[in-house]
Amino acid sequence: TFPCEEEEEMMRKENTEELEVLEAQIKHLQAEVKGLQQQLQEEDCRNITFNFEGPMKDALAYMCGLTEGEGKEVVVSKLEEEVEQLERKIKLQTQINGISVTRCITKTLDHSGRKEVQLFCISGHCSGLVFQVEFKLSEVQEHQRTVNELNVVLDSRDPQSFSSFLSRVE
């Protein structure tokens, strides 16, 4: 064999070995990414279920694979029942106070052992007045709740609507 062919063969062998090492590293990293994605999904499910109680919490835990038990049909049936009950409560609440909520967004900002901080953004209307309320709710072990950074934005050019809104809020 020629010296040039020997060098080429050695380079091919080195490249093959290096390729095998890189492929093994890729497989290891893919497995690590998959594990981290699964861990993140489980953590998201835990955070979601933390904010709900009763049938809603049970259903979310079941759907996220955190618990086993009743079949999907039973879980869906209980959720439908829960939604209908919540809709009735919201309708009654709107009739009582005249405040209609059109959008509510909740975001968990901090969740550590004893303390949870959530950001709430609520939009709606009352007495012809469109409003948006944003605040942080801090909760320490489900016993003490504190509202921080309260912002209220009202969209009204009519003083009568504003006065009516304030009297309902009081």
pLDDT tens-digit profile of 43-87?
665 555 455 667 777 777 777 766 666 677 777 788 888 889 888
The number of beta carbons lying within 10 Å of the beta carbon of residue 165 is 21
What angle in degrees, to the nearest 10, is found between the helix axes of 3-50 and 54-63? 170
- pTM of this prediction exceeds 0.85: no
